[in-house]
Structure 1
Amino acid sequence: MQDSDPNTPLALIVDDDLTFRTLSRMSLEQEELRVEEVSSGQAAVDFATACMPDIVILDVQMPGMDGFATCQGLRRLPGGDFVPILMMTGLDDVESIAKAYDMGATDFIIKPCHGLILSQRVRYMLRASRTLNALRISASSLAQAQRIAQLGGWEWDFVHDRLEVSDAVCHILGILPASFNHTQSAYLGCVQEGDRDLVAEAMRKAVADGTGFDLDHRVIDTNGTERIVHFQGEVITDDVGRPQRMLGTVQDVTDKRATEAKIYFLANYDGLTHLPNRNLFLHRIAQAICCGMGTNIIGAVLVLSLDRYQRVNDMHGPRSGDQILKEVTGRFQRALSTSTTIAQFAGADSTMLARLGEDQFAALLTNLPTAEDSAKIAKCLLTSLEAPFQIDGTTVMLTASVGIAIPGTDGTEPNLLLRHAVTALQAAQNSGDRSCQYYCNSMNVSIAARITLEQDLRAAMNANQFVLYYQPQVDILSETVIGVEALIRWQHPTRGLISPAEFIPVAEEEDLIIQLSEWVIKNASQQQKTWRNSGLPPFPISINLSSLHFRQRNLISQIRSIVIENGGDPPYLELELTEGVLMTNATTTMTTLKQLKGLGFRLAIDDFGTGYSSLAYLQQFPIDTLKIDRAFVKDIKLGKIDSPIMRAIIGMGRALKLHVVAEGVETRDQLAFLRMQGCAAYQGFLFSRPVPPNHLLPLLQSHLRQPIPKSA
């Protein structure tokens, strides 16, 4: 019974002799083959058009289309190229056999033939066909894989001096396969001229040593496009170790090398300024130390930080801030190149400029005549910032501070040297703008104290070690209390009361300021509820909002929920923001201020006069209060020192119908001046220092104005 499994090979018998077809069929079916038969050449072509068989047993002598024509017709069909065709002929002559092969026959057999011989010949041909098909599929898969990998193979026969290359290699080299003359010179002719000697020497050395080579070189194709290829080869020897040939591959790695270069750049360079980053800077320090820096070569590690850059970035936006950083980079690079004659160090390779962080740069100096010459370089860098920067028509001045560590004296390990330079930088920043400091061991004491403070501050957040003090705001004419400002204090378990001037900067650097702000709002709201329940009339409590807190996306809902949940009253809570916060992205600021105002909160500009405000925006912002910074108040002495800035600020505030409050009032002369200028209110030690709620209560009971109106 004939096997109907489609995976069983299908044999097609083509013969006009019914008897022969029947006998052949019986023989082949015993071999568990599927068998179909037709009586003419045209019928065979028609059958194969619909279903190509796995093997064809084809008689030569048939009426109409003979076996030769039929064989040609089958070969022309799709998929007919590789079908094994066994031609049967009674013509026992060489000419017919040759013609059969010419027409595309795979093999031939003489009729009549025994059934066993036919079946074994068919089985052999099927087995060979399967092997050839597997090889073709494998070769096709390999070729496709090589095309995907842009990879080609080559073989150099030393005995006959013939270099064979695959079509894929020719494609990579940008040449036609027919144009390659199978010589080493032909390949080298495709190599970019600057790499040609390198490739030739690598191949020569591999042959001489009986080893191999592995390298990248460039090629220029016929379009003039430069590509990078990875070229490798391996020598094959005979039984006695004599080099016979070389096998190898050529791979187009242009895109791969470009990606690797991009990855390297991202890992080692700053994306904005294209300067080396911290990782590469430390690596170069290590290289310099290995070359003798710190022993027989004098060098220096400088770390520079731009003073008040963050304020400029907040005011003008990150895009303008990035532009300034690019210009700073250019100025520093020019300063380093021109300072060669000042410090007399040897060549441009002796310096390296890097960017460590947002506003922090570093420089590596080597081959200095003396360690003190590093200060001359630092001075040149600081001087390069003296010319003003222009941002959208606005003039901005920048200064910097520099810390210096000397390899050898201050350490011989890259991370330690950089850390010591940063420590010196912090000391320079504490001493004022445009300062330069060398590292010394005593600086570590202050750094240790700073780290301890940071750790204690995090513990204080969990242990609730903070308290609120309140400083009264006083009407300047009636001397009655019209509000208070909530000021946070840290009740340290061992150090006692710590001023916010000491821990607020640490909180801002360590991203703890938002938690502190939320704690102040919560506790001020609770205190407001307590005073209300004790019978005191409502009065405003001022609360400072940091820049980071104000920029939180959920600020509005966050503040509203904290205030409501803790019994606060928005119309009697005043949120204070600095000029820098308000002027950063004024459009977004306006939206946020209007939303806060819509919830009933009062709004104030704190420390007015120390930042950069636009009068146009001041008129548009829904501000209630203008607080004059204490820096403008401290030098007022009635009859001796006038203050035109104070008069201007107070006059402007009144013209804008703002409630003007002067901070830091400590003397009667200051109060008298403010009163003469029409300032509405003040706060300061003259009336009361910041005090805890229980100390404030008597003052409120005796001096609180009644009633105090709500916010407009």
Structure 2
Amino acid sequence: MSKIEGVGRQRRDNTDSDSDSDRDMLATQPTVFAPGEDRLSMKELRALAPQDEAGRNRSMGLSEALIMMVDDEMLNIEMTEAFLADAGYRHFVHTDQPERAVPMMRKEPPGVLLLDLSMPKVSGLDILAAMREDSVLRHVPAIVLTSSTDAQVKLKALALGAMDFLSKPVDPSELALRIRNTLAASAYREYLGQHDGLTGLPNKQRYRKDLASVLDEALASDHPGALIHVGVDNLGRINDALGRGVGDQLLQRVAKRLASCVQTEHGGELSSEQHNPSLYRFDGDEFAIIVPYMEGVPSAAFINKLLEDSTVSFQRSGFPELFVTCSVGVSVFPNDGSEPDVLMRNAGLALRHAKLAGPHRYEFFSPQFKDLALSRLDLSAGLRHAVSRDEIELLYEPRVELASGRVVAGEALLRWKHPSGRIIEGDELMDLAGSSEMDVVLTEWLFELLMKHMKNWRSAGLQAVPIAVKVSLANMRPSDLVHLVNAALANGVDARQLSLELQQVSALDNLPAKEATAIAGLRKKGVRIALGRFGASASISHLRQLPCDEIMPDASFVRDVERDATVQAMLLGIADIARRLRLSCVACGVETAQQLAFLKKNGFEQAQGRHLGEPVTGLVFAAKWLTRGGRPVRISTPGDLS
């Protein structure tokens, strides 16, 4: 029976008596306006007309909003249309056939709906019910015009989504105010739905919508463009150390700097015919920039300007001055994709790789990033179950004094035997654990097993050597590391037999002084501190802020020392820094006799790597390298050290 595509048929079948009584009460309708009040003075009209300030958050003013009226009396519609035209509302549609109302709204949703309740064939309640079932129309504000005084009728309309009521005959002044206020509230709600509350920038939803428009233009005009994702480096550390309030302040400052940088490009070489570069708050610590046209030198200059302008400093009483940097990931369309979601994902992947390479860097998307991301995702998921499945084992690698050839220490090495047969160990495993926030769990597990091994060695009367433990600070706070070490010392581990090889030490840059000095407190107890992967994730600047006993150049230096003169010079420079600072320098990753010969020739004190001894279990390590009160065991390798 219903002509709104069947909507409301079942509801009326089940509530025939209710509908009939409702319509009986609403049978007789007066005109929409009270007699003699169908026109207002020009002064009154100006006072009630759409205000510019009310619509400032929208791309067009409230006067541009579409107002729709559904009423079976054409006189009511004509009077209302004339009044709204005088009041400044230029877009008005109507129907006196209520069965057409919902299809009309689906074709073009109005800004506000003026709805009569009592109409033949299809009632206003039926229309509200149909709107409620529509994902778009349910958000259209409806003002009900009714002469009913029955509270139950109003409750039904409210339950179906009506926003406001006006009793017939309607006072024109009140109608004007209700329309203006409803449109203003709707505009503000729309603004909140498309803007970030912290920075005021357009949000992810607006980003995706605008990107679709820019892509359509770029594909039609056959010109390139780009998405740039900007991520604040180490924001999580700042939130943990100084509180989320400080982190929010930093995000606001970065947003202002980025907005200024993007604004200067409007109308320039990065703009297309229809669009200018635009900035968005994407998610968490990320911002996004749509560049409608991006090719050649201007793009590189803009990216470098973004990196420079987004660097901010922050000083808080009692804390060191922070210098916060950003990293950048770029995807270019159409080369890297022609769909918004694909391009957004690829820009995000490029940003992740930029951050993995270190802070304050940028990367363009490469198809390899996707393959690596999928592989890393699979490995990260598997790593969370690896410990409980006994897939992780703790091995020990000997460290050798090159002058004597004797084992003077050992390094604890985690190895993951992946079900696929792949072996993941050492720095690769630490990086994977850090990116999946499993490094803390693995470190706790390592310390627990190490304490058991060292206790067994003492019980057997073996002469133990110091054991170095790789510790990533990517997700572990120094104070948490102190708790682990103190627990080991309380269980009988000699502090002099423990060395901490710190990795990802850049995380210390944004920590409060109390956290940064926690490492120094361990050193005072006799625990040796080493800067791991020096020259890669650790630099000379970290030597100034973190007292240590030894530095360990990244294994890539030894790996490339035979074929790259620049690497040779850098490795020798690191060794010279260590000597001048009276620190030990431990060469890592020695795998060939030629590498070993280079290290001996240039006066390196200690080294470790497979050429000097394969990683073995705790039992084998004890049997092979530890003695009962005697001198340290001398290694025997194909390349004699003597």
> Once the 2 structures are TM-superposed, how far is the Cα of residue 270 of structure 1 from its aligned partner?
7.2
1:159 and 2:86 equivalent? no
Distance 1:305 1:417, change over 3 A: closer
The answer to whether the 8 Å contact 2:232/2:326 transfers is yes
1:382 and 2:293 equivalent? no
> Once the 2 structures are TM-superposed, how far is the Cα of residue 329 of structure 1 from its aligned partner?
5.4
**Cα distance between partner residues in 2 of 1:532 and 1:526:** 10
Equivalent residue number for residue 461 of structure 1: 387
1:402 and 2:359 equivalent? no
**1:502-517 matched pairs, under 5 angstroms:** 502-517=428-443
How far does the alpha carbon of each residue in 1:429-457 deviate from its partner, in whole angstroms, 9 at most, with x for none? Answer: 99997553476xx8765544333222222
- Secondary structure of the residue aligned to 1:522 is helix
Question: 2:459 is matched by which residue type in structure 1?
Answer: N
Distance 1:157 1:233, change over 3 A: farther
**Cα distance between partner residues in 1 of 2:37 and 2:562:** 106
Structure number with higher relative contact order (C-alpha < 8 Å, ≥ 6 residues apart): 2
> Once the 2 structures are TM-superposed, how far is the Cα of residue 488 of structure 1 from its aligned partner?
1.1
Distance 1:551 1:257, change over 3 A: farther
Distance 1:607 1:201, change over 3 A: closer
Question: 1:188 is matched by which residue type in structure 2?
Answer: R
How far does the alpha carbon of each residue in 1:459-487 deviate from its partner, in whole angstroms, 9 at most, with x for none? Answer: 31331211122222222322211111112
> Once the 2 structures are TM-superposed, how far is the Cα of residue 585 of structure 1 from its aligned partner?
2.9
**1:496-645 matched pairs, under 5 angstroms:** 496-551=422-477, 554-561=480-487, 564=490, 568-578=493-503, 579-585=505-511, 587-597=513-523, 600-610=526-536, 611-614=538-541, 617-618=544-545, 621-634=546-559, 636=561
The answer to whether the 8 Å contact 2:433/2:439 transfers is yes
Q: Which runs of 5+ in 2 are unaligned?
A: 1-31, 55-60, 70-74, 89-140, 149-167, 314-320, 634-642
Q: Which runs of 5+ in 1 are unaligned?
A: 1-154, 164-182, 219-229
Larger radius of gyration: 1
**Cα distance between partner residues in 1 of 2:473 and 2:434:** 9
Question: 1:497 is matched by which residue type in structure 2?
Answer: I
**Cα distance between partner residues in 2 of 1:382 and 1:202:** 42
**Cα distance between partner residues in 1 of 2:558 and 2:514:** 32
**Cα distance between partner residues in 2 of 1:537 and 1:630:** 29
1:662 and 2:579 equivalent? no
**Cα distance between partner residues in 2 of 1:615 and 1:553:** 18
Equivalent residue number for residue 364 of structure 2: 436
Distance 1:543 1:263, change over 3 A: farther
The answer to whether the 8 Å contact 2:553/2:587 transfers is yes
> Once the 2 structures are TM-superposed, how far is the Cα of residue 200 of structure 1 from its aligned partner?
14
**Cα distance between partner residues in 2 of 1:431 and 1:609:** 13
The answer to whether the 8 Å contact 1:576/1:605 transfers is yes
1:653 and 2:578 equivalent? yes
> Once the 2 structures are TM-superposed, how far is the Cα of residue 580 of structure 1 from its aligned partner?
1.7
Distance 1:592 1:572, change over 3 A: same
**Cα distance between partner residues in 1 of 2:312 and 2:170:** 71
1:269 and 2:196 equivalent? yes
Equivalent residue number for residue 97 of structure 1: none
1:188 and 2:116 equivalent? no
Question: 1:525 is matched by which residue type in structure 2?
Answer: M
Farther off after superposition, 683-692 or 696-705:
696-705
How far does the alpha carbon of each residue in 1:276-335 deviate from its partner, in whole angstroms, 9 at most, with x for none? Answer: 33232123345667xx56975658774445699449988x99879755675455445545
**Cα distance between partner residues in 1 of 2:65 and 2:397:** 84
Equivalent residue number for residue 700 of structure 1: 625
Measured on the aligned residues, the alpha-carbon RMSD in Å equals 5.6
**Cα distance between partner residues in 1 of 2:171 and 2:309:** 69
The answer to whether the 8 Å contact 1:525/1:569 transfers is no
> Once the 2 structures are TM-superposed, how far is the Cα of residue 528 of structure 1 from its aligned partner?
1.9
The answer to whether the 8 Å contact 2:401/2:408 transfers is yes
**Cα distance between partner residues in 2 of 1:634 and 1:704:** 36
- Secondary structure of the residue aligned to 1:462 is coil
- Secondary structure of the residue aligned to 1:537 is coil
> Once the 2 structures are TM-superposed, how far is the Cα of residue 508 of structure 1 from its aligned partner?
2.1
Distance 1:638 1:394, change over 3 A: farther
Report the identity percentage: 22
**Cα distance between partner residues in 2 of 1:698 and 1:627:** 27
Distance 1:160 1:270, change over 3 A: closer
- Secondary structure of the residue aligned to 1:544 is strand
The answer to whether the 8 Å contact 2:478/2:518 transfers is no
The answer to whether the 8 Å contact 1:626/1:653 transfers is yes
> Once the 2 structures are TM-superposed, how far is the Cα of residue 187 of structure 1 from its aligned partner?
6.2
1:209 and 2:86 equivalent? no
The answer to whether the 8 Å contact 1:653/1:659 transfers is yes
> Once the 2 structures are TM-superposed, how far is the Cα of residue 575 of structure 1 from its aligned partner?
1.5
Distance 1:256 1:681, change over 3 A: farther
Equivalent residue number for residue 339 of structure 1: 269
- Secondary structure of the residue aligned to 1:606 is strand
**Cα distance between partner residues in 1 of 2:174 and 2:43:** 16
The answer to whether the 8 Å contact 1:575/1:604 transfers is yes
How many pairs were matched up? 499
- Secondary structure of the residue aligned to 2:174 is strand
**Cα distance between partner residues in 2 of 1:510 and 1:264:** 36
- Secondary structure of the residue aligned to 1:470 is strand
**Cα distance between partner residues in 1 of 2:64 and 2:499:** 80
Equivalent residue number for residue 356 of structure 1: 282
1:452 and 2:373 equivalent? no
Equivalent residue number for residue 52 of structure 1: none
- Secondary structure of the residue aligned to 1:338 is coil
- Secondary structure of the residue aligned to 2:198 is coil
**Cα distance between partner residues in 2 of 1:684 and 1:524:** 20
What is the TM-score when the length of structure 1 is the normalising length?
0.55
**Cα distance between partner residues in 2 of 1:339 and 1:421:** 21
**Cα distance between partner residues in 2 of 1:397 and 1:446:** 25
**Cα distance between partner residues in 1 of 2:594 and 2:410:** 23
- Secondary structure of the residue aligned to 2:388 is helix
1:488 and 2:410 equivalent? no
**Cα distance between partner residues in 2 of 1:264 and 1:480:** 71
**Cα distance between partner residues in 2 of 1:416 and 1:640:** 42
**Cα distance between partner residues in 2 of 1:200 and 1:518:** 63
1:684 and 2:561 equivalent? no
The answer to whether the 8 Å contact 1:637/1:670 transfers is yes
- Secondary structure of the residue aligned to 1:664 is coil
Distance 1:246 1:475, change over 3 A: same
Question: 1:499 is matched by which residue type in structure 2?
Answer: E
How far does the alpha carbon of each residue in 1:642-694 deviate from its partner, in whole angstroms, 9 at most, with x for none? Answer: 96655554454345443332323455665566557664422234422433335
Equivalent residue number for residue 91 of structure 2: none
> Once the 2 structures are TM-superposed, how far is the Cα of residue 628 of structure 1 from its aligned partner?
3.0
The answer to whether the 8 Å contact 2:482/2:522 transfers is yes
- Secondary structure of the residue aligned to 1:468 is strand
- Secondary structure of the residue aligned to 2:387 is helix
> Once the 2 structures are TM-superposed, how far is the Cα of residue 401 of structure 1 from its aligned partner?
3.9
**1:212-291 matched pairs, under 5 angstroms:** 246=172, 248=174, 250=177, 261=188, 264-265=191-192, 268-269=195-196, 271-272=198-199, 274-286=200-212
